[in-house]
Structure 1
Amino acid sequence: MKFSYKFSNLLGTVYRRGDIIFSNDGSTVLCPVGNKISVYDLRNNRSHTLPFEARFNYTSLALSPSGIILIAADEEGEVHIINLNFRHILYRRRFNQPIKSVKFSPDGKHFALTKTNAVLVYCAPGANKRIFDPFVLERVFHGAYDDTTCLDWSFDSRVLAVGSRDMTTRVYGFAKLKNLREYPIGGNKDSVVGVFFEDKSLDLCTVSKDGHVNMWDCSVDPEGLVPAQDCYKIKEKAKDEEEEVVDDIPVTQEEIEDLNKIKNKGEGSDSQEKIFYSRRFRLFMDKHLGGKRAPVTAAHYHKSTRMLVVAFASGDFLLLDLNDKGAVVHSLNISDQTISSVGMNNSGDWIALGVSSLGQLVVWEWQSESYVLKQQGHFSNMRVVVYSPDGQNLATGGEDGKVKLWSTQSSFSFVTFSEHTGAVTGLTFTQSGRAILSSSHDGTVRAFDLIRYRNFKTLTSPRPTQFSCVSVDSSGELVTAGGQDSHDIYLWSLQSGRLLEVLSGHEGPVVSVQFSSQPGSTMMASTAWDATLKVWDAIDSTTAKETIALSSDGLCVCIRPDGKQLAVATLDGQITMFNPLTGQQEANIIGRNDLGAGKADADKISAKKNLQSKAFSCLCYSSDGKFILGGGQSKNVCIYSIDDELLIKKFEITQNRSFDAMDEIINRRKMAENNINLALVEDREDENGKSIHIKLPGTRQGDMSCRAFRPEVRVTSLTFSPTGRSWAASSSEGLLVYSLDNDWLFDPLSLDISNTPSAIKQKLKEKDYMAALMMAVRINIKTLQQEVIETIPVHTISLIVNNLPQLYVEGVLRYLSEAVESTPHIGLYSQWATSLVTHHGQTLKNRAPQIMSTLNALQRALSIHHTNLSKVCSHNEYMLSYLLAQASLRKKRQVEDAENENENSKKLSHTSSDEEMDAEDQLEDMFCEEVEP
């Protein structure tokens, strides 16, 4: 097992706060999630998180016109310049003040940002500028009496409009213009939320916080802006033109008008060239909200279609058509919480809305009135996470009482169960993966069907009990849950829903219960706050088979996949391994110091003293059972070797200083005179004028009644993927997924100097496929293994696999488990896997515990392809049946038409014969009449 796990993705948290922007093609949404940035691909229905993080939460984003450079600013004023192609931070710059807005100029040569009451314009980084420092200050604009809140560029990148909290909008000439330096615009009664230029014009649209939208007309066209360096040239040209016209006689009227224009430009006539703005019309948003008065929180203007989106704190948003003087196109409500950010793609079809308090992200297509994307994380903290048996899905449970399922491929949540009325405390999948069980503080254990997505069974106790954990046996028949207040363990039959047993013996709250995952085994282990570990048999007896005294209160227990060892975490920061059959201790890990310490702002004790209260609260065995993963009241997750009792690797899940207790020493800026901690002073106000409340002693999540609180970072649950290539942790940051990315890792097997890539290719030319395959397995380079396996003829696969040594069988199987998921040659790789399992099945079965992760990865890849192909096949089957039905109907219609034509022809023939007979009778009668006289 390798330990090169790296951060792969962030699930469970969709949106926190900050700007939501679209990519230049309009099919991708970039969204800040805490101190990370998530990218949602709306075309392919996938998402991923960029592999870097800031020191604080991101708030402002701006994308360059080329779509390569991304500028992100966090809440403390640190600005990052990011290359999206390489997904790496190129430059960092601290401004020590919050940045409310960042915008690139349309030509991509500059970017502007707001800082306090000023606007700073910098040269944008790019390949055409060979500069090492991208933050080359170009110009600074002052004039606002309060903080600047928003800005926008004109289409030609020569004019800048800035809105501020002093209720004014200021228009600056970025290029040095003779007739524009600074022009203030009033007309608002509250701070400006958004300011936007019209397309191909200097007209303005401003949106204020009180819901007023103003349209301003500029007296000068963009072509009428006179650069300051061209003034002298214009004057000289005017003099020359005047002399030429005076010499020429006669003079036409058009020449006189042109002369007057040139003279006016040369003289700088204020009557025609001075810029001023006049209000075209004003819109009041109150009348469109049914009389509600809600402040405007975000606005976005699409310049080409002239569509304005205005979002409110009440959860409403309006879509206005400014072509028709602000006619309301749509008025919708997406939630009861404040909409924090609004964005539109380049075509103007999709609107992105973010609700920070709910963690909700919505992409809405306003023309068809349908959702393109609707994702929402847990309303409050996440408590538990577990992988499905095939590794394709992740299930999470939160304190909001919801159970969510997330796809590991698309990173999207595809189903949410909200039947629980209390916090979800435990989750577990059945062995088949067709159902999931959850325990909750509401006194129920619920079973959800993952095929029909419904709650098909609800298990309760005779007396109302808060359940703290849940587990299911390998057969999926027995379900057990531990009581937090009754100190008992309850055992149900999932099929009948009947309570079978109530296991008593613990003298404290039961915090963890787990069944053995071995087929046919009914052994389970439990631990509680009474400093004991009990091993039970769910069928044989109602009393504990083994009771083991612990050094302190138990916090978590887990059983090794083979069922021959169990591990328990205690309150004194130790992890102890026992043999469940004999009760003997096999290993002991003292890992309290590995968790690390931090001092909260309001703590009166040092970080070193605070470390004595740290302990592991969640454990998880690796798929091979040789290593254990532990996490708890800390930002660190530790991997230990059980045999050596050593720390192998420590992962720091976040560096976000927006959480509390991240540092060991309190910053001096948070200290007053005489070393008084400002966090302990309650009768004061923060920078926004709100009163500060001190959280109660012992609380780790912060004061939930406050609008802004700083919870402490902690890991609440850990789970290993059945494939062994990834693990997930539920934390205060969200659901973090770490995967094993070993494409760069060179890990040979029994390598010698004769085993080279050129020698392997030579063996392939000589058609010595067996030697080439073994050499490729030994050198362990994926590209060479792929070349060898795809070069070997199909009819020789069975012969080669039959004579392949066992040492190389596992190597080939390991490569197949990684390659099957992404290869287009599904049939070829499936035949390789079938031959390996058929010829070496018994040996692989004997070594199943050691290679279980490889077998699970292979099964997962094949099941993914089976699911995708079954959808295509069923669609083709229905399409063929439809076409055959249409063909039969068409054939039937043709037969009916032919029969109708025959009948019509017969009728026509009968009528024609009758007409001929009538004509003959008439001729005969006429002939007889002529002959009789």
Structure 2
Amino acid sequence: MRFAYRFSGLLGTVYRRGNLSFTRDGNSLISPVGNRISLFDLKNNKCETLPLATRLNIVCVGLSPDGSLAILVDEEGAALLVSLIGKCVIHQFYFHKPVHSVSFSPDGKKFVVTKDNLAYLYHAPGKKREFNAFVLDKTYYGPYDETTCIDWTDDSKCFAVGSKDMSTWVFGAERWANLIYYSLGGHKDIIVACFFEENSLDLYTISQDAALCVWQCDTELDGLKPMPPKDAAKEKKAAEDDEELLEEPKGEEIHGKVDPSEQETRNKVKYSRVAKYFFNKEGDFNNLTAAAYHKKTHLLVTGFASGIFHLHELPDFNLIHSLSISDQRIASISINCTGDWIAFGCSGLGQLLVWEWQSESYVLKQQGHFNSMVSLAYSPDGQYIVTGGEDGKVKVWNTSSSFCFVTFTEHNSGVTAVTFTCTGYVVLSASLDGTVRAFDLHRYRNFRTFTSPRPSQFSSLAVDSSGEIVAAGSQDSFEIFIWSMQSGRLLDVLAGHEGPISSLSFNPMKCVLASASWDKTVKLWDMLDSWRTKETFLINSDVLVVAFRPDGKELAVAALNGQITFWDHENAVQTGSIEGRHDLQMGRKELDKITAKQSAKGKSFTTLCYSADGQSILAGGLSKFVCIYNVKEQILMKKFEISCNHSLDAMEEYLDRRKMTEFGSMALIDEGGGGDEGVAIPLPGVKRGDMSYRHFKPEIRVTCVRFCPTGRSWAATTTEGLLLYSLDSGVIFDPFELDVDVTPSNIRKTLSQKKFTLAIVMAFKLNEKKLIQEVIEAVPSSEVDVVCSSLPDLYVEKLLEFLASAFETSCHLEFYLIWAHKLLMLHGQKLKTKSVKLLPVIQFLQKSIQRHFEDVSKLCEWNIYNIKYALAISQQRGMKRPAEETPGDEEELDSDSDYLMQEAHKDNLSS
């Protein structure tokens, strides 16, 4: 079992805060999600989260014009320079203060950063060979309050900066004789956005009170005059003064608050306001929160705090469209390069929308769980993941595209447990509203609702291997309810526990149910023998979770004392235990008055899951770590840190002295009620915190972990979202029984001699994926049967595993299907003896084939429709009388039918 699992994706969260950005081609969208960024490929309908993270939540993203670089800035001003091509961090920089916005110039040579009331102009990295990637060029002074937005002219000569002091400042990126700075007023509220007109110095400014000012400049971009060079002697003296300073050079400073004399104002650039428009014509008060402008099409998009957005055509201010996407504040808007797609981000709901305004249709509409996710389950083939959250929603995600394709909202309270049936087409969910619901993934509907005779809050859920028996545990009546999936009737109520039911698990091989409770017992119930208790295991502490091994021969139990115990349930014997309390490594919360080490003594694992082969167990709890243990050796194999985001609580291991005052922790002082009430301390066991506090930080925790049935990945529901970790062995050299004679040249030489079986064995010994693919694809299809029959048993498993991974990317579907069919037919009896070990590989193969089957079947159905349409057109032409037909109609119909037939033929050939 390899443990080279790496972060591969973030599901369940699509947008948190910050600005959205389209890539250069306009086909992909970059969205900040907490301290990570996700890349949504809108053409291929896929999502990818980059394997890098900042220390705190990202507040602004600056994208270079060529789309190769991005600057990510977090809440405290720490920046990462990221390569979007290599998907790695190139440079780190600290701005020392919170940054409001970052914007690259259109030529890509410079970028502007605004923080406080200043604007800093830097040389863009990669354009000059310098030791430091962030070289300060100029510092611009002017606004009296914090800056809010930036926009550049098309030729990168000037840029405009909006401010909270209701003014907009135009600065020259270079030294211009007739434009050093210019201040524009005319607004009565905070400036939200400012935009230059295409190839012009004309400017639009938009304020928070939904007012738009149109400013016309009397000078064209070509009319900017360069500043005459300074005296050489003064420059030399200034350079000598700079060498004497020990501080870092701060660049040139441009002050915008010095009153120019009358002599200097002659022949200067001047602005005049030519129009002022208001968005709220009805008089209702609705704050404008975000805006975007597409210069080529003159399209202005504005978003409001009520969730409404408007599309206007400038400069005439003609309303094109108005629509409401939600009742929450629109935090960010972006338009792609062609002006067809508009992206909206709502931070309150965690919602991301991409809207095509011309056809008035959604290109992308994704929303995560409003509150934290509680549980997850993989489908039997590993293709889908279902999640349940405290918001009462059940969402189903596609693991290959990372998109949610269906959301069920029938529950009225938080969902506590979800699971798939054995077929993979039915999802079951238990909720605190007293119902267990079954959802059909064919018709996307709730077709069964299971209820108890008296209202109960269900905290756990399990379904047997046949999918016919549904069991749910109650946390208030201490009972287990059993229903029939086929009829929906309540079969029995199992009583015997004296505390809330915390977990249920069915034996995969037998119809035996294991139930864990806070009464320090684990009970086994025989479903076929009058629902009687088969065995009772006494545990030293409250039991939190129970799980069966995939072969059903072992039972793992996690208790409140931090121990994981393993039981042979057939003989009622404990076979081992793991002391996991020290491995949790709990962080220190802001309001804690004890150390992290002392706090970890009271923590335990709240979720367990066996790996697909049953050799390892995955455990998580109220910590930022997920642990993998070897069951046989009972030792810790690896720890995964699921997050490095310090915007979450319980991340610090030690107390930060910067947050300490003479009166105690700064968090305690800020969150106090004040007056006579004193400091508000949360009750023990309260995890959510009080949302009425001015500062609320959600606590990092892992609520559920599950291994994929294929064994190639595992998932965890956390405070940040649904995290996926998968095996990435493409860059790892892992030879198998390597000899001196096994080299790529010898393998190719053996292949040229048509010794195909020997070449395949040698390729697997070297274990180079590309070389294995080259050897297998060189085997003629007529020789596959002979090669498979002569292949040693040891390499049959490896070849099956390779075929399963090759199906993911290869276009030779029929060729690889022949290989898989021959291997399974010739070695099926021998593989049965290793069914448990080979189960992940077979499921991985099934998942790959099923995905291709769905894609090809859709394509074939479309081609059949095209062929039928072409035949109908030709028949309609044949039924016409010669007198009614015209030569033009005949040629047009012939061209239509021929084109459709050719396209359908091409699609069938490609499939």
* Shared fold per TM-score greater than 0.5: yes
Check 1:748–1:683 CA distance in 2 against 1; reply closer, same or farther (3 A cut). Answer: closer
Q: 2:344 is matched with which residue?
A: 353
TM-score (norm 2): 0.91
Q: Deviations over 1:837-862 (max 9, x none)?
A: 00110111110101111111111111
CA contact (8 A) 1:224 1:273 kept: no
CA drift of 1:748 comes to: 2.2
Written as runs of structure 1 = structure 2, the 5 A alignment for 1:295-306 is 295-306=287-298
TM superposition score normalised by structure 1: 0.89
1:144-180 per-residue CA deviation (whole Å, 9 max, x = no partner) reads 2111111222222222211111111111222111222
Answer yes or no: is the 8 Å Cα contact 2:671–2:695 preserved in 1. no
Contact 2:671–2:694 (Cα < 8 Å) also in 1: no
Q: Which residue of 1 aligns with 2:596?
A: 607
Stretch deviating more after TM superposition (217-226 or 115-124): 217-226
Equivalent residue for 1:307? 299
Shift of 1:303: 1.6
Give the aligned partner of residue 35 of structure 1.
Answer: 35
Q: Map 1:624-635; keep pairs closer than 5 Å.
A: 624-635=613-624
What residue identity is the alignment partner of 2:303? A
- The CA distance in 2 between the partners of 1:513 and 1:685, in whole Å, is 42
AA aligned opposite 1:602: L
Give deviations 1:644-687, integer Å, cap 9, x for gaps.
0010010000000000110122212211125x11211257799x
Q: Is the Cα contact below 8 Å between 1:638 and 1:651 reproduced in 2?
A: yes
Say if 2:396 is the partner of 1:405: yes
Distance in 1, matches of 2:170 and 2:779, equals 70
Q: Which residue of 1 aligns with 2:464?
A: 473
Is the aligned partner of 1:280 residue 2:265? no
3-state SS of the aligned residue for 2:770? helix
Q: What is the CA-CA distance between 1:749 and the residue it aligns to?
A: 2.2
Question: Any conservation in 2 of the 1:554–1:569 contact (CA below 8 Å)?
Answer: yes
Aligned partners of 2:668 and 2:679 also within 8 Å: no
Task: Report the equivalent of 2:225.
Answer: 226
Q: Give the match's secondary structure for 2:836.
A: coil
Q: Is the 8 A contact 2:585 2:597 kept in 1?
A: no
CA contact (8 A) 1:682 1:693 kept: no
What is the CA-CA distance between 1:887 and the residue it aligns to? 3.1
Q: What CA deviation, in whole Å up to 9, does each residue of 1:48-96 have, x standing for no partner?
A: 0011000001110111111111111111111111111000111111122
- Correspondence for 2:889: none
Distance 2:294 2:505 in 1: 56
On the 8 A contact 1:220/1:273 being kept in 2, the answer is no
The answer on whether the counterparts of 1:390 and 1:860 sit within 8 Å (CA) in structure 2 is yes
Whole-angstrom distance in 1 between the partners of 2:544 and 2:880? 75
Q: Deviations over 1:521-579 (max 9, x none)?
A: 21111101011111111121322101000111011111111110110110011111111
| Alignment-derived partner of residue 863 in structure 1 | 850
Q: Secondary structure at the match of 1:813?
A: helix
Q: Distance in 1 between matches of 2:358 and 2:865?
A: 31
Secondary structure of the residue that 1:866 maps to in structure 2? helix
Once residues 685 and 278 of structure 1 are traced to their aligned partners in structure 2, the CA distance between those partners, rounded to angstroms, is 50
Q: Does 1:884 align with 2:871?
A: yes
* Cα distance between partner residues in 2 of 1:729 and 1:420: 23
| Aligned-pair CA distance for 1:776 | 1.5
Q: How does 1:386-401 map to 2 (within 5 A)?
A: 386-401=377-392
**C-alpha contact (below 8 Å) 2:462/2:471 kept by paired residues:** yes
Instruction: Specify the SS of the correspondent of 1:727.
Output: strand
| Counterpart position of 1:429 | 420
Name the counterpart of 2:256.
none
Residue number in structure 1 paired with 2:362:
371
Find the aligned partners of 2:342 and 2:777 in 1 and give their Cα distance: 46
The reply to whether residue 88 of structure 1 matches residue 82 of structure 2 is no
Question: 1:765 Cα deviation (Å)?
Answer: 1.2
C-alpha distance in 2 between matches for 1:749 and 1:212? 70
Matched with 1:622 is 611
For the pair 1:44 / 2:44, whether they are aligned, the reply is: yes
SS in 2 for 1:93: strand
Cα distance in 1 for partners of 2:349, 2:413 equals 18
Counterpart secondary structure, 1:716: strand
Counterpart of 2:620 in 1: which secondary structure?
strand
Is the CA contact (8 Å cut-off) linking 1:162 and 1:171 kept in structure 2? yes
Offset of 1:828 from its aligned partner?
Answer: 0.9
The structural deviation recorded for 1:722 is 1.0
Alignment check: 8 A CA contact 2:290 2:331 kept:
yes
SS in 2 for 1:545: strand
What SS does the corresponding residue of 2:192 show, helix, strand or coil?
strand
**CA distance in structure 1 between the partners assigned to 2:692 and 2:857 by the alignment:** 50
CA distance in 1, matches of 2:696, 2:881: 76
CA RMSD of aligned residues (A): 2.0
| Cα distance, 1:343 vs structure 2 | 0.7
- Distance, in Å, in 1 between the alignment partners of 2:431 and 2:266 is 74
Give the Cα–Cα distance (whole angstroms) in 2 for the partners of residues 29 and 414 of structure 1. 19
Contact 1:14-1:361 at 8 Å conserved across structures: yes
CA contact (8 A) 1:34 1:57 kept: yes
8 A Cα contact 2:153 2:200, kept in partner: yes
8 Å CA contact 2:673–2:680 kept in 1: the answer is no
Aligned equivalents of 2:772 and 2:737: distance in 1? Answer: 16
CA contact (8 A) 2:122 2:137 kept: yes
Alignment of 1:825-904 (within 5 A): 825-893=812-880
Decide whether aligned partners of structure 1 residues 696 and 98 sit closer, same or farther in structure 2, where only a CA change above 3 A counts: farther
CA change 1:627–1:10 in 2 (3 A) is same
Secondary structure in 1 matching 2:352: strand
User: Structure 1 pair 55/692, CA: closer, same or farther in 2 (3 Å)?
Assistant: farther
**355 and 897 in structure 1: CA distance in 2 versus 1, 3 angstrom threshold:** closer
> Aligned-pair distance for 1:423?
0.5
Structure 2 residue identity aligned to 1:32: P
Q: d(CA) in 1 for partners of 2:565 and 2:856?
A: 46
Q: Secondary structure at the match of 1:26?
A: coil
- Counterpart secondary structure, 1:99: coil
CA distance in 2, matches of 1:455, 1:298: 38
Q: How does 1:528-539 map to 2 (within 5 A)?
A: 528-539=517-528
My pick for the range that moved more, 358-367 or 221-230, is 221-230
Task: Determine whether 1:656 maps to 2:645.
Answer: yes
Distance in 1, matches of 2:265 and 2:89, equals: 51
SS in 1 for 2:823: helix
Aligned counterparts of 2:38 and 2:673: Cα–Cα separation in 1: 34
Structure 1 stretches lacking a partner, 5+ long:
233-266, 899-933
Are 2:314 and 1:322 equivalent residues in the alignment? yes
Deviation track 1:412-446 (CA, whole Å, cap 9, x = no partner) reads: 11000000001111111110111010000000000
CA 1:809/1:606 → structure 2, altered by over 3 Å: closer, same or farther?
same
User: Partner of 1:317: helix, strand, or coil?
Assistant: strand
Compared CA separation, residues 97 and 231, structure 1 to 2 (3 A): closer
Query: What is residue 512 of structure 2 aligned with on the other side?
Result: 523
Q: 1:889 deviation in Å?
A: 3.4
Residues 894 and 760 of structure 1: CA distance in aligned 2, closer, same or farther (over 3 Å):
farther
Q: 1:388 to 1:895 in 2, by over 3 A?
A: farther
Instruction: Map 1:6-85; keep pairs closer than 5 Å.
Output: 6-85=6-85
Partner of 2:213: 214
Could you report, residue by residue, the CA deviation over 1:858-909 in whole angstroms, capped at 9, with x for unpaired residues? 11111111111111222222222333333333333358979xxxxxxxxxxx
Which one-letter code corresponds to 2:607 in the other structure?
Answer: C
Counterpart check, 1:742 vs 2:745: no
Residue 667 of structure 2 corresponds to residue 679 of structure 1:
yes
Contact 1:504 1:543 in 2 (8 A): no
Structure 1 residues 560, 893: CA separation in 2 closer, same or farther (over 3 Å shift)? same
Please say if residues 719 and 728 of structure 1, whose CA atoms lie closer than 8 Å, have aligned partners that are also in contact.
Answer: yes
**Rounded Cα–Cα distance in structure 1 between residues aligned with 2:228 and 2:4:** 59
Give aligned pairs, total: 854
Q: Who is 1:253 aligned against?
A: none
Letter in 1 for 2:535: E
Deviations along 1:183-230, whole A, 9 cap, x unmatched?
211111111111111111111111111111111111222222211127
Deviation track 1:115-166 (CA, whole Å, cap 9, x = no partner) reads: 111111110011x411121111100011221111112222222222111111
Is the contact between residue 339 and residue 354 of structure 1 (CA under 8 Å) also seen in structure 2?
yes
Matched residue type, 1:579? D
Rounded to whole Å, the distance in 1 between the matches of 2:883 and 2:568 is 81
Structure 2 distance, partners of 1:572, 1:206, is 61
Shift of 1:756: 1.9
Contact preservation (8 Å) 2:143, 2:165: yes
Equivalent residue number for residue 928 of structure 1? none
1:550 paired residue among 517, 522, 539 = 539
Other-structure match for 1:641: 630
Matched residue type, 1:145 = Y
The aligned counterpart of 2:373 is 382
Q: Are the structure 2 counterparts of residues 394 and 707 from structure 1 closer, same or farther at C-alpha, using a change threshold of 3 Å?
A: farther
Compute the displacement of 1:746 (Å). 2.1
1:181 aligns with 2:180: yes
